[in-house]
């Protein structure tokens, strides 16, 4: 069974929503402590916890060329934090500079880092 997400799927997603937007949303999801859980050991079916509704998780499904989420916002927008988090979990967003440290469990926050954060220009990968 092929459970890998094809490059075509990603290109389709990025043609609708730029990768920078996905990254920003994934970053926000990490900051808010959202978690993505893979269901049935299938890379296409996920549950992502909700920030605004504690105890709730939304279902994120990857269909061929489409990424669906059961959150209310998905009825209006082609993107959301939950889908972004799944893309990030799959390693499809690459590394991005603002990504928070996942293993940081101590209470102290790296404020200095945030203060000196500046928009980094990344060379866009050659397409085609």
Distance of closest approach, residue 37 Cβ to Zn ion, in angstroms: 14
Query: According to the binding rule CB under 5 A, does residue 84 interact with Zn ion?
Result: no
Distance of closest approach, residue 18 Cβ to Zn ion, in angstroms: 18
Query: According to the binding rule CB under 5 A, does residue 69 interact with Zn ion?
Result: yes
33's enclosing H/E stretch is: none
Query: According to the binding rule CB under 5 A, does residue 44 interact with Zn ion?
Result: no
Q: Which residues bind Zn ion (CB under 5 A)?
A: 69, 71, 74, 80, 82
């Amino acid at each position: 069974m092929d459970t890998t997400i094809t490059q075509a799927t990603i290109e389709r997603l990025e043609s609708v929503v730029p990768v920078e937007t996905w990254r920003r949303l994934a970053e926000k999801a990490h900051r808010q402590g959202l978690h993505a859980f893979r269901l049935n050991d299938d890379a296409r079916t996920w549950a992502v916890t909700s920030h605004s509704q504690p105890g709730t998780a939304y279902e994120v499904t990857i269909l061929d060329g489409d990424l669906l989420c059961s959150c209310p916002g998905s009825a209006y927008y082609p993107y959301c934090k939950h889908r972004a988090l799944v893309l990030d979990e799959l390693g499809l967003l690459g590394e991005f500079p603002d990504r928070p440290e996942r293993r940081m469990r101590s209470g102290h926050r790296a404020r200095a880092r945030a203060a000196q954060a500046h928009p980094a220009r990344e060379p866009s990968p050659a397409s085609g």
